[in-house]
Copies of this chain bind each other. A is one copy, B any other.
Amino acid sequence: MSKALSIFDTTLRDGTQGEGISLSVDDKLKIARKLDQLGVHYIEGGIPGSNNKDIEFFNRVKELGLSAKITAFGSTRRKDSNTELDSNLNSLIQSGAQAATLVGKSWDFHVHTALQTSLEENLAMIYDSIAYLKRKGLEVIFDAEHFFDGYKNNPEYALAVMRKAEEAGADWLTMCDTNGGSLPHEVHDIVTVLAGQVTTSRIGIHTHNDCELAVANSISAVRAGAEQIQGTMNGYGERCGNANLCSVIPSLQLKLGYNILEADQLKQLTSTARYISEIANVNMPINQPYVGSSAFAHKGGIHVSAILRDSRTYEHIAPETVGNQQRILVSELAGQSNILSKAQGMGIELRSDNDSTREVMSKIKDMEHEGYQFEGADASLELLLRQANGELKELFTFESFKMLVEKSADKPVVSEAFVKLNIDGASVYTAAEGNGPVNALDNALRKALISYYPGLQNIHLSDYKVRVLDDKEATASKVRVLIESKDAANSWNTVGVSGNVIEASWEALVDSLRYALLRQTKREGYEEIPSAGRGLINH
Protein backbone atom coordinates (compact mmCIF):
# COMPACT_ATOMS: atom_id res chain seq x y z
CA MET A 1 0.00 0.00 0.00
CA SER A 2 1.32 3.42 -0.92
CA LYS A 3 1.42 6.09 1.71
CA ALA A 4 -1.34 8.70 1.89
CA LEU A 5 -0.64 12.43 1.90
CA SER A 6 -3.04 15.20 2.72
CA ILE A 7 -3.35 18.30 0.57
CA PHE A 8 -4.05 21.59 2.29
CA ASP A 9 -5.18 24.21 -0.19
CA THR A 10 -4.73 27.86 0.78
CA THR A 11 -5.62 29.48 -2.55
CA LEU A 12 -8.45 31.35 -0.83
CA ARG A 13 -6.20 32.68 1.95
CA ASP A 14 -2.49 32.85 1.08
CA GLY A 15 -3.27 32.82 -2.64
CA THR A 16 -5.15 36.12 -2.39
CA GLN A 17 -1.98 37.76 -1.06
CA GLY A 18 -0.64 37.57 -4.63
CA GLU A 19 -0.38 40.82 -6.55
CA GLY A 20 -3.42 41.26 -8.76
CA ILE A 21 -5.43 38.50 -7.08
CA SER A 22 -8.72 39.58 -5.60
CA LEU A 23 -11.66 37.28 -4.95
CA SER A 24 -15.25 38.13 -4.00
CA VAL A 25 -17.16 35.87 -1.61
CA ASP A 26 -18.99 34.34 -4.59
CA ASP A 27 -15.66 33.70 -6.30
CA LYS A 28 -14.35 32.00 -3.18
CA LEU A 29 -17.40 29.77 -2.89
CA LYS A 30 -17.13 28.73 -6.54
CA ILE A 31 -13.46 27.89 -6.09
CA ALA A 32 -14.13 25.97 -2.84
CA ARG A 33 -16.69 23.80 -4.61
CA LYS A 34 -14.26 23.11 -7.44
CA LEU A 35 -11.40 22.28 -5.04
CA ASP A 36 -13.67 19.90 -3.20
CA GLN A 37 -14.52 18.10 -6.44
CA LEU A 38 -10.82 17.81 -7.19
CA GLY A 39 -10.43 16.10 -3.84
CA VAL A 40 -8.15 18.30 -1.74
CA HIS A 41 -8.40 17.45 1.94
CA TYR A 42 -8.31 20.90 3.56
CA ILE A 43 -9.60 24.21 2.19
CA GLU A 44 -8.36 27.26 4.04
CA GLY A 45 -11.03 29.88 3.44
CA GLY A 46 -9.63 33.07 4.92
CA ILE A 47 -8.98 35.04 8.07
CA PRO A 48 -12.28 35.47 9.95
CA GLY A 49 -10.59 37.86 12.37
CA SER A 50 -9.61 40.28 9.59
CA ASN A 51 -12.68 41.21 7.59
CA ASN A 52 -16.40 40.69 7.03
CA LYS A 53 -15.92 39.18 3.59
CA ASP A 54 -14.14 36.21 5.13
CA ILE A 55 -16.75 35.86 7.88
CA GLU A 56 -19.44 35.73 5.18
CA PHE A 57 -17.46 33.02 3.36
CA PHE A 58 -17.35 30.80 6.46
CA ASN A 59 -21.08 31.26 7.00
CA ARG A 60 -22.02 30.44 3.43
CA VAL A 61 -19.57 27.61 2.77
CA LYS A 62 -21.38 25.44 5.33
CA GLU A 63 -24.39 25.31 2.99
CA LEU A 64 -22.31 23.69 0.26
CA GLY A 65 -21.83 20.47 2.23
CA LEU A 66 -18.29 19.89 1.07
CA SER A 67 -16.22 16.83 1.94
CA ALA A 68 -13.01 18.78 2.48
CA LYS A 69 -12.30 20.17 5.93
CA ILE A 70 -12.83 23.93 6.01
CA THR A 71 -10.03 25.75 7.80
CA ALA A 72 -9.79 29.25 9.24
CA PHE A 73 -6.52 31.13 9.63
CA GLY A 74 -5.42 33.31 12.54
CA SER A 75 -2.48 34.22 14.76
CA THR A 76 -1.56 33.09 18.25
CA ARG A 77 -2.91 35.35 21.00
CA ARG A 78 -1.43 38.81 21.43
CA LYS A 79 1.50 39.10 23.80
CA ASP A 80 0.78 39.55 27.52
CA SER A 81 -2.95 39.04 27.07
CA ASN A 82 -5.73 36.66 27.96
CA THR A 83 -6.46 33.84 25.52
CA GLU A 84 -10.20 33.67 26.30
CA LEU A 85 -10.59 37.36 25.48
CA ASP A 86 -8.55 37.28 22.26
CA SER A 87 -10.95 38.42 19.53
CA ASN A 88 -8.86 36.81 16.82
CA LEU A 89 -8.88 33.37 18.48
CA ASN A 90 -12.59 33.70 19.21
CA SER A 91 -13.30 34.56 15.59
CA LEU A 92 -11.71 31.22 14.61
CA ILE A 93 -14.09 29.41 16.94
CA GLN A 94 -17.09 31.46 15.82
CA SER A 95 -16.32 30.85 12.13
CA GLY A 96 -17.59 27.30 12.52
CA ALA A 97 -14.58 25.94 10.62
CA GLN A 98 -13.61 22.36 11.55
CA ALA A 99 -9.93 23.20 11.67
CA ALA A 100 -7.87 26.25 12.53
CA THR A 101 -4.47 27.18 11.16
CA LEU A 102 -2.64 29.05 13.86
CA VAL A 103 0.46 30.95 12.84
CA GLY A 104 3.21 31.52 15.40
CA LYS A 105 6.82 32.64 15.41
CA SER A 106 9.70 30.15 15.44
CA TRP A 107 12.54 32.48 14.43
CA ASP A 108 14.01 34.25 17.46
CA PHE A 109 14.89 37.28 15.30
CA HIS A 110 11.18 37.71 14.47
CA VAL A 111 10.14 37.33 18.09
CA HIS A 112 12.40 40.26 18.93
CA THR A 113 11.88 42.38 15.80
CA ALA A 114 8.31 41.86 14.70
CA LEU A 115 6.55 40.71 17.92
CA GLN A 116 8.86 42.70 20.19
CA THR A 117 8.47 40.26 23.04
CA SER A 118 10.54 37.66 24.90
CA LEU A 119 11.27 34.13 23.68
CA GLU A 120 9.44 32.74 26.74
CA GLU A 121 6.29 34.80 26.17
CA ASN A 122 6.23 33.63 22.52
CA LEU A 123 6.26 29.99 23.73
CA ALA A 124 3.43 30.78 26.12
CA MET A 125 1.43 32.49 23.36
CA ILE A 126 1.76 29.37 21.21
CA TYR A 127 0.92 26.94 24.01
CA ASP A 128 -2.07 28.88 25.32
CA SER A 129 -3.60 29.51 21.90
CA ILE A 130 -3.36 25.91 20.70
CA ALA A 131 -4.62 24.52 24.02
CA TYR A 132 -7.58 26.92 23.93
CA LEU A 133 -8.63 25.92 20.41
CA LYS A 134 -8.17 22.22 21.21
CA ARG A 135 -10.44 22.64 24.27
CA LYS A 136 -13.04 24.10 21.91
CA GLY A 137 -12.87 20.96 19.78
CA LEU A 138 -11.01 22.28 16.75
CA GLU A 139 -8.40 20.41 14.77
CA VAL A 140 -5.31 22.61 15.03
CA ILE A 141 -2.65 23.08 12.37
CA PHE A 142 0.25 25.00 13.87
CA ASP A 143 2.03 27.03 11.17
CA ALA A 144 5.56 27.71 12.40
CA GLU A 145 6.37 30.89 10.48
CA HIS A 146 9.97 31.14 9.22
CA PHE A 147 10.78 27.70 10.64
CA PHE A 148 13.77 27.08 8.37
CA ASP A 149 15.30 30.53 8.87
CA GLY A 150 14.62 30.13 12.57
CA TYR A 151 16.26 26.71 12.68
CA LYS A 152 19.35 28.00 10.88
CA ASN A 153 19.67 30.90 13.30
CA ASN A 154 18.79 29.10 16.54
CA PRO A 155 17.95 25.40 16.13
CA GLU A 156 17.26 24.85 19.85
CA TYR A 157 14.63 27.57 19.97
CA ALA A 158 12.94 26.56 16.67
CA LEU A 159 12.64 22.98 17.94
CA ALA A 160 11.46 24.18 21.36
CA VAL A 161 8.61 26.02 19.61
CA MET A 162 7.55 22.82 17.88
CA ARG A 163 7.80 20.76 21.06
CA LYS A 164 5.65 23.34 22.85
CA ALA A 165 3.02 23.20 20.08
CA GLU A 166 2.99 19.41 20.24
CA GLU A 167 2.64 19.51 24.00
CA ALA A 168 -0.37 21.84 23.64
CA GLY A 169 -2.02 19.25 21.42
CA ALA A 170 -1.47 20.56 17.89
CA ASP A 171 -2.59 17.97 15.33
CA TRP A 172 -0.16 19.22 12.74
CA LEU A 173 3.20 20.96 13.02
CA THR A 174 3.69 22.78 9.74
CA MET A 175 7.11 24.13 8.88
CA CYS A 176 6.80 27.32 6.85
CA ASP A 177 9.51 28.58 4.55
CA THR A 178 7.86 31.97 4.78
CA ASN A 179 10.48 33.99 2.90
CA GLY A 180 10.98 31.26 0.32
CA GLY A 181 14.75 31.32 0.65
CA SER A 182 15.48 27.69 1.59
CA LEU A 183 17.05 25.08 -0.67
CA PRO A 184 15.77 21.48 -1.07
CA HIS A 185 18.69 19.78 0.67
CA GLU A 186 18.37 22.14 3.64
CA VAL A 187 14.65 21.41 3.84
CA HIS A 188 15.36 17.69 3.71
CA ASP A 189 17.91 17.88 6.51
CA ILE A 190 15.81 20.07 8.79
CA VAL A 191 12.59 18.08 8.31
CA THR A 192 14.56 14.93 9.10
CA VAL A 193 15.68 16.43 12.42
CA LEU A 194 12.13 17.48 13.35
CA ALA A 195 10.66 14.13 12.28
CA GLY A 196 13.06 12.44 14.71
CA GLN A 197 11.68 14.44 17.63
CA VAL A 198 7.94 14.50 17.01
CA THR A 199 5.80 11.77 18.51
CA THR A 200 2.08 12.65 18.65
CA SER A 201 1.69 15.43 16.08
CA ARG A 202 2.14 14.98 12.34
CA ILE A 203 4.33 17.14 10.14
CA GLY A 204 3.24 19.54 7.39
CA ILE A 205 5.14 21.72 4.94
CA HIS A 206 4.35 25.22 3.61
CA THR A 207 6.78 26.70 1.09
CA HIS A 208 7.13 29.85 -0.99
CA ASN A 209 8.59 30.19 -4.44
CA ASP A 210 11.12 33.01 -4.07
CA CYS A 211 13.94 30.79 -5.39
CA GLU A 212 11.69 28.90 -7.84
CA LEU A 213 12.04 25.95 -5.47
CA ALA A 214 8.67 25.76 -3.68
CA VAL A 215 7.65 22.55 -5.44
CA ALA A 216 11.07 20.96 -4.94
CA ASN A 217 11.06 21.95 -1.26
CA SER A 218 7.61 20.42 -0.77
CA ILE A 219 8.71 17.15 -2.36
CA SER A 220 11.91 17.20 -0.34
CA ALA A 221 9.94 17.62 2.90
CA VAL A 222 7.58 14.77 2.01
CA ARG A 223 10.53 12.48 1.35
CA ALA A 224 11.86 13.40 4.81
CA GLY A 225 8.58 12.67 6.58
CA ALA A 226 6.05 15.48 6.04
CA GLU A 227 2.51 14.18 5.50
CA GLN A 228 0.63 17.37 4.68
CA ILE A 229 1.44 19.86 1.93
CA GLN A 230 0.13 23.40 2.04
CA GLY A 231 0.00 25.17 -1.29
CA THR A 232 -2.17 27.02 -3.78
CA MET A 233 -3.62 26.28 -7.17
CA ASN A 234 -1.43 27.74 -9.93
CA GLY A 235 1.02 28.76 -7.21
CA TYR A 236 -0.80 32.00 -6.40
CA GLY A 237 0.53 33.86 -3.38
CA GLU A 238 2.52 36.79 -2.07
CA ARG A 239 5.67 37.88 -3.94
CA CYS A 240 6.63 34.84 -6.07
CA GLY A 241 3.77 32.72 -4.82
CA ASN A 242 3.24 29.54 -2.81
CA ALA A 243 3.98 25.92 -3.67
CA ASN A 244 1.97 25.18 -6.80
CA LEU A 245 -0.33 22.26 -5.98
CA CYS A 246 -0.90 21.69 -9.70
CA SER A 247 2.73 20.57 -9.89
CA VAL A 248 3.14 19.09 -6.39
CA ILE A 249 0.19 16.70 -6.62
CA PRO A 250 0.95 14.95 -9.93
CA SER A 251 4.68 14.64 -9.23
CA LEU A 252 4.09 13.02 -5.83
CA GLN A 253 1.32 10.79 -7.09
CA LEU A 254 2.56 9.79 -10.54
CA LYS A 255 6.29 9.73 -9.92
CA LEU A 256 6.69 8.82 -6.25
CA GLY A 257 3.59 6.68 -5.88
CA TYR A 258 1.95 8.56 -3.00
CA ASN A 259 -1.76 8.13 -2.60
CA ILE A 260 -3.40 11.57 -2.92
CA LEU A 261 -6.30 11.79 -5.37
CA GLU A 262 -8.39 9.24 -7.23
CA ALA A 263 -7.30 8.79 -10.85
CA ASP A 264 -10.58 10.39 -11.98
CA GLN A 265 -9.97 13.40 -9.78
CA LEU A 266 -6.42 13.83 -11.06
CA LYS A 267 -7.92 14.03 -14.55
CA GLN A 268 -9.74 17.18 -13.40
CA LEU A 269 -6.48 18.91 -12.49
CA THR A 270 -6.11 20.88 -15.73
CA SER A 271 -9.72 22.01 -15.92
CA THR A 272 -9.69 22.95 -12.21
CA ALA A 273 -6.51 24.99 -12.60
CA ARG A 274 -7.90 26.80 -15.65
CA TYR A 275 -11.27 27.39 -13.99
CA ILE A 276 -9.58 28.97 -10.98
CA SER A 277 -7.42 31.17 -13.21
CA GLU A 278 -10.61 32.34 -14.93
CA ILE A 279 -12.32 33.13 -11.62
CA ALA A 280 -9.19 34.84 -10.29
CA ASN A 281 -9.01 36.64 -13.63
CA VAL A 282 -5.32 35.96 -13.99
CA ASN A 283 -3.95 34.60 -17.24
CA MET A 284 -2.45 31.19 -16.76
CA PRO A 285 1.13 31.10 -18.03
CA ILE A 286 0.97 28.96 -21.15
CA ASN A 287 4.10 27.10 -20.06
CA GLN A 288 2.76 26.14 -16.63
CA PRO A 289 3.87 22.57 -15.81
CA TYR A 290 1.29 19.78 -16.19
CA VAL A 291 -1.74 22.07 -16.76
CA GLY A 292 -0.57 24.88 -19.09
CA SER A 293 -1.68 24.93 -22.70
CA SER A 294 1.97 24.55 -23.79
CA ALA A 295 2.84 21.82 -21.28
CA PHE A 296 2.54 19.16 -23.95
CA ALA A 297 2.92 21.38 -27.02
CA HIS A 298 5.59 20.47 -29.52
CA LYS A 299 7.20 22.94 -31.86
CA GLY A 300 10.57 21.58 -32.98
CA GLY A 301 10.34 19.68 -36.27
CA ILE A 302 12.44 16.71 -35.07
CA HIS A 303 10.46 16.42 -31.84
CA VAL A 304 7.21 16.45 -33.77
CA SER A 305 8.19 13.63 -36.05
CA ALA A 306 9.35 11.56 -33.04
CA ILE A 307 6.22 12.07 -30.92
CA LEU A 308 4.07 11.14 -33.89
CA ARG A 309 5.87 7.78 -33.69
CA ASP A 310 5.67 7.44 -29.89
CA SER A 311 4.58 10.22 -27.56
CA ARG A 312 6.86 8.96 -24.74
CA THR A 313 9.82 10.18 -26.79
CA TYR A 314 9.17 13.77 -25.69
CA GLU A 315 6.48 13.58 -23.00
CA HIS A 316 7.26 12.75 -19.38
CA ILE A 317 3.71 11.61 -18.63
CA ALA A 318 0.61 10.96 -20.68
CA PRO A 319 -1.10 14.38 -20.74
CA GLU A 320 -4.53 12.79 -20.29
CA THR A 321 -3.54 11.62 -16.78
CA VAL A 322 -3.88 15.23 -15.60
CA GLY A 323 -6.62 16.14 -18.09
CA ASN A 324 -4.32 17.99 -20.46
CA GLN A 325 -3.62 17.19 -24.11
CA GLN A 326 -0.89 17.04 -26.67
CA ARG A 327 -0.67 19.88 -29.16
CA ILE A 328 1.34 20.27 -32.33
CA LEU A 329 2.32 23.89 -32.87
CA VAL A 330 2.75 25.72 -36.09
CA SER A 331 5.66 28.12 -36.24
CA GLU A 332 8.40 29.39 -38.44
CA LEU A 333 10.78 26.90 -36.80
CA ALA A 334 8.57 24.01 -37.70
CA GLY A 335 8.97 22.13 -40.86
CA GLN A 336 6.14 21.60 -43.30
CA SER A 337 5.47 18.37 -41.41
CA ASN A 338 3.91 20.28 -38.49
CA ILE A 339 1.35 21.99 -40.71
CA LEU A 340 0.64 18.80 -42.59
CA SER A 341 0.04 16.86 -39.37
CA LYS A 342 -2.10 19.68 -38.03
CA ALA A 343 -4.13 19.68 -41.26
CA GLN A 344 -4.52 15.95 -40.91
CA GLY A 345 -5.84 16.43 -37.37
CA MET A 346 -8.42 18.81 -38.82
CA GLY A 347 -9.42 16.27 -41.43
CA ILE A 348 -7.99 18.32 -44.31
CA GLU A 349 -6.15 16.39 -46.99
CA LEU A 350 -3.23 18.59 -47.99
CA ARG A 351 -0.72 17.04 -50.34
CA SER A 352 2.86 18.09 -49.70
CA ASP A 353 3.79 18.05 -53.38
CA ASN A 354 1.00 20.39 -54.37
CA ASP A 355 1.36 24.02 -55.59
CA SER A 356 -1.51 25.32 -53.46
CA THR A 357 0.04 23.65 -50.38
CA ARG A 358 3.35 25.38 -51.01
CA GLU A 359 1.47 28.63 -51.52
CA VAL A 360 -0.45 28.41 -48.24
CA MET A 361 2.75 27.43 -46.36
CA SER A 362 4.50 30.51 -47.65
CA LYS A 363 1.43 32.65 -46.91
CA ILE A 364 1.39 31.39 -43.29
CA LYS A 365 5.08 32.20 -42.97
CA ASP A 366 4.51 35.73 -44.31
CA MET A 367 1.56 36.29 -41.98
CA GLU A 368 3.60 35.12 -38.97
CA HIS A 369 6.23 37.59 -40.04
CA GLU A 370 3.58 40.36 -39.96
CA GLY A 371 2.61 39.42 -36.41
CA TYR A 372 -0.05 36.75 -36.80
CA GLN A 373 0.25 33.83 -34.46
CA PHE A 374 -1.67 30.69 -35.21
CA GLU A 375 -0.52 28.84 -32.12
CA GLY A 376 -3.46 30.41 -30.26
CA ALA A 377 -5.81 30.67 -33.24
CA ASP A 378 -6.46 27.24 -34.65
CA ALA A 379 -9.73 28.29 -36.23
CA SER A 380 -8.08 31.01 -38.33
CA LEU A 381 -5.44 28.50 -39.39
CA GLU A 382 -8.09 25.96 -40.35
CA LEU A 383 -9.87 28.57 -42.48
CA LEU A 384 -6.60 29.34 -44.30
CA LEU A 385 -5.93 25.66 -44.93
CA ARG A 386 -9.44 24.85 -46.10
CA GLN A 387 -9.44 27.89 -48.35
CA ALA A 388 -6.18 26.69 -49.91
CA ASN A 389 -7.88 23.36 -50.43
CA GLY A 390 -10.78 25.06 -52.24
CA GLU A 391 -13.28 24.00 -49.59
CA LEU A 392 -14.63 27.42 -48.56
CA LYS A 393 -17.13 29.67 -50.17
CA GLU A 394 -17.06 33.31 -49.12
CA LEU A 395 -19.96 34.41 -46.90
CA PHE A 396 -20.05 37.94 -48.26
CA THR A 397 -18.15 40.63 -50.08
CA PHE A 398 -16.96 43.35 -47.75
CA GLU A 399 -17.84 46.90 -48.75
CA SER A 400 -17.19 49.05 -45.67
CA PHE A 401 -17.52 49.56 -41.95
CA LYS A 402 -17.59 52.68 -39.79
CA MET A 403 -17.25 52.80 -36.05
CA LEU A 404 -18.08 55.82 -33.92
CA VAL A 405 -17.48 56.39 -30.20
CA GLU A 406 -18.83 59.59 -28.69
CA LYS A 407 -18.59 60.94 -25.18
CA SER A 408 -19.87 64.25 -23.82
CA ALA A 409 -19.43 65.53 -20.30
CA ASP A 410 -22.01 63.97 -17.95
CA LYS A 411 -23.43 61.70 -20.63
CA PRO A 412 -22.66 58.01 -20.97
CA VAL A 413 -20.34 57.04 -23.77
CA VAL A 414 -22.03 55.80 -26.96
CA SER A 415 -20.62 53.30 -29.47
CA GLU A 416 -22.14 52.74 -32.89
CA ALA A 417 -21.08 50.71 -35.89
CA PHE A 418 -22.21 50.72 -39.52
CA VAL A 419 -21.51 47.75 -41.74
CA LYS A 420 -22.02 47.47 -45.50
CA LEU A 421 -21.73 44.03 -47.11
CA ASN A 422 -22.77 42.37 -50.32
CA ILE A 423 -24.37 38.99 -49.63
CA ASP A 424 -25.30 36.79 -52.56
CA GLY A 425 -25.49 39.87 -54.80
CA ALA A 426 -27.67 41.92 -52.42
CA SER A 427 -26.31 45.01 -50.70
CA VAL A 428 -26.88 44.90 -46.95
CA TYR A 429 -26.32 48.02 -44.81
CA THR A 430 -26.79 47.77 -41.04
CA ALA A 431 -26.17 49.87 -37.96
CA ALA A 432 -25.97 48.82 -34.33
CA GLU A 433 -25.00 50.14 -30.94
CA GLY A 434 -22.90 48.30 -28.40
CA ASN A 435 -21.33 48.51 -24.95
CA GLY A 436 -18.04 49.24 -26.61
CA PRO A 437 -16.68 49.60 -30.14
CA VAL A 438 -15.97 45.91 -30.75
CA ASN A 439 -19.34 44.92 -29.33
CA ALA A 440 -21.04 47.46 -31.65
CA LEU A 441 -19.11 46.07 -34.61
CA ASP A 442 -19.97 42.52 -33.61
CA ASN A 443 -23.66 43.44 -33.33
CA ALA A 444 -23.76 45.21 -36.69
CA LEU A 445 -21.97 42.36 -38.45
CA ARG A 446 -24.31 39.72 -37.02
CA LYS A 447 -27.34 41.85 -37.88
CA ALA A 448 -26.17 41.93 -41.48
CA LEU A 449 -25.57 38.19 -41.65
CA ILE A 450 -28.23 36.65 -39.47
CA SER A 451 -31.15 36.53 -41.89
CA TYR A 452 -28.90 34.74 -44.37
CA TYR A 453 -27.20 32.54 -41.75
CA PRO A 454 -29.59 31.98 -38.82
CA GLY A 455 -27.12 29.50 -37.30
CA LEU A 456 -25.09 32.44 -36.02
CA GLN A 457 -27.75 33.12 -33.37
CA ASN A 458 -26.15 31.02 -30.66
CA ILE A 459 -22.54 32.03 -31.07
CA HIS A 460 -21.04 34.43 -28.58
CA LEU A 461 -17.62 35.86 -27.88
CA SER A 462 -16.14 34.48 -24.70
CA ASP A 463 -12.73 36.13 -24.63
CA TYR A 464 -11.07 39.08 -26.27
CA LYS A 465 -7.36 39.79 -25.98
CA VAL A 466 -5.29 42.62 -27.37
CA ARG A 467 -1.54 42.41 -27.66
CA VAL A 468 0.65 45.35 -28.67
CA LEU A 469 3.34 43.88 -30.92
CA ASP A 470 5.96 46.59 -30.75
CA ASP A 471 6.31 48.35 -27.45
CA LYS A 472 8.38 51.25 -28.74
CA GLU A 473 5.50 53.44 -29.89
CA ALA A 474 2.59 51.85 -28.14
CA THR A 475 -0.50 53.51 -29.58
CA ALA A 476 1.03 53.83 -33.06
CA SER A 477 2.21 50.23 -33.40
CA LYS A 478 0.71 46.97 -34.57
CA VAL A 479 -1.73 45.04 -32.44
CA ARG A 480 -2.82 41.45 -32.48
CA VAL A 481 -6.37 40.64 -31.40
CA LEU A 482 -7.28 37.13 -30.30
CA ILE A 483 -10.96 36.27 -29.99
CA GLU A 484 -12.41 33.20 -28.40
CA SER A 485 -15.96 32.27 -29.43
CA LYS A 486 -18.31 29.68 -28.04
CA ASP A 487 -21.47 27.88 -28.90
CA ALA A 488 -23.27 25.39 -26.71
CA ALA A 489 -20.67 22.66 -27.21
CA ASN A 490 -17.38 24.11 -28.38
CA SER A 491 -15.01 27.03 -28.38
CA TRP A 492 -12.62 28.26 -31.05
CA ASN A 493 -10.01 30.98 -31.45
CA THR A 494 -9.36 33.45 -34.22
CA VAL A 495 -6.80 36.16 -34.83
CA GLY A 496 -6.52 39.54 -36.50
CA VAL A 497 -3.51 41.84 -36.92
CA SER A 498 -3.43 45.50 -37.90
CA GLY A 499 -1.98 48.84 -36.93
CA ASN A 500 -5.57 49.61 -35.95
CA VAL A 501 -7.17 47.70 -33.10
CA ILE A 502 -10.64 48.07 -34.65
CA GLU A 503 -9.50 46.62 -37.95
CA ALA A 504 -7.70 43.76 -36.20
CA SER A 505 -10.85 43.06 -34.18
CA TRP A 506 -12.98 43.10 -37.32
CA GLU A 507 -10.70 40.53 -38.92
CA ALA A 508 -10.87 38.19 -35.94
CA LEU A 509 -14.67 38.67 -35.68
CA VAL A 510 -15.19 37.81 -39.33
CA ASP A 511 -13.00 34.70 -38.99
CA SER A 512 -14.94 33.65 -35.92
CA LEU A 513 -18.27 33.73 -37.75
CA ARG A 514 -16.84 32.12 -40.89
CA TYR A 515 -15.54 29.29 -38.74
CA ALA A 516 -18.87 28.88 -36.93
CA LEU A 517 -20.65 28.56 -40.28
CA LEU A 518 -18.03 26.18 -41.64
CA ARG A 519 -18.67 23.86 -38.71
CA GLN A 520 -22.45 24.12 -39.05
CA THR A 521 -22.33 23.44 -42.79
CA LYS A 522 -20.20 20.40 -42.13
CA ARG A 523 -22.67 19.13 -39.56
CA GLU A 524 -25.68 19.67 -41.81
CA GLY A 525 -23.94 17.83 -44.61
CA TYR A 526 -23.40 14.93 -42.19
CA GLU A 527 -19.71 15.41 -42.74
CA GLU A 528 -18.40 15.19 -39.17
CA ILE A 529 -15.45 17.30 -38.15
CA PRO A 530 -13.02 14.65 -36.93
CA SER A 531 -12.70 14.47 -33.18
CA ALA A 532 -8.99 15.29 -33.24
CA GLY A 533 -9.90 18.61 -34.83
CA ARG A 534 -12.54 19.27 -32.18
CA GLY A 535 -10.02 18.48 -29.49
CA LEU A 536 -7.46 20.83 -30.89
CA ILE A 537 -9.76 23.83 -30.92
CA ASN A 538 -11.00 23.18 -27.46
CA HIS A 539 -8.13 24.40 -25.30
Query: Which positions in A face B, CB cutoff 8 Å?
Result: 16-20, 22, 109-110, 113-114, 178-181, 183-185, 209-213, 215-216, 219-220, 223, 235, 237-241, 244, 247, 250-251, 255-256, 278, 281, 285-290, 292-300, 303, 306, 309-310, 312-317, 329, 331-333, 368, 373, 375-376, 397-409, 413, 415, 434-439, 442, 460-466, 468-477, 479, 483-484, 498-503, 506
Contacts and interface: CB of A to CB of B under 8 A. Distances in A.
Nearest to A442: B475
Given A212-B244, A398-B409, A461-B473, 20 more contacts: A19-B287, A19-B299, A110-B306, A179-B314, A184-B220, A209-B287, A210-B295, A211-B250, A216-B216, A239-B298, A400-B407, A402-B406, A402-B407, A436-B476, A436-B501, A438-B475, A438-B501, A462-B473, A474-B483, A474-B484
26 contacts: A19-B299, A19-B331, A114-B313, A183-B219, A183-B255, A184-B184, A184-B219, A210-B290, A213-B216, A238-B297, A239-B295, A240-B288, A240-B289, A240-B295, A405-B437, A407-B502, A407-B503, A435-B475, A435-B476, A435-B477, A436-B475, A437-B437, A438-B475, A438-B501, A463-B471, A464-B474
B476 A439 contact: yes
Given A435-B476, A460-B473, A503 B113 contact: no
Contact of A471 (B184, B278, B298, B477): B278
A68 to B, nearest CB: 23
Given A211-B255, A316-B181, A19 B463 contact: no
How would you classify the secondary structure of chain A's contact residues: helix, strand, loop or mixed?
mixed
Contacts of A406: 400-403
A409 B460 CA distance: 26
Contacts of A209: 287, 289
A464 B479 CA distance: 10
A295 B240 CA distance: 5
Contacts of A211: 215, 247, 250-251, 255, 289-290, 316
Q: Which 3 A-B pairs have the closest CB atoms?
A: A181-B316, A216-B216, A212-B247
Contacts of A296: 239
Contacts of A313: 109-110, 113-114
Contacts of A399: 408-409
Contacts of A220: 184-185
A404 B407 contact: no
A331 B474 CA distance: 28
A493 to B, nearest CB: 12
Contact of A309 (B113, B181, B483, B503): B113
A185 B215 CA distance: 13
A441 B525 CA distance: 48
Contacts of A409: 397-400
A468 B472 contact: no
A295 to B, nearest CB: 6
Nearest to A403: B405
A238 B299 contact: yes
A2 to B, nearest CB: 16
B329 A19 contact: yes
A470 to B, nearest CB: 8
A119 to B, nearest CB: 16
A27 to B, nearest CB: 12
B469 A466 contact: no
Most buried by B among A22, A406, A461, A500: A500
A17 to B, nearest CB: 5
Nearest to A182: B316
A315 B465 contact: no
A180 B464 contact: no
A498 B397 CA distance: 33
A399 to B, nearest CB: 6
A347 to B, nearest CB: 24
A113 B312 CA distance: 10
Nearest to A214: B212
A348 B483 CA distance: 43
A251 B244 CA distance: 20
B183 A251 contact: yes
Nearest to A473: B460
A406 B289 CA distance: 44
Contacts of A314: 178-179
A18 B300 CA distance: 9
Contacts of A436: 475-476, 479, 498-502
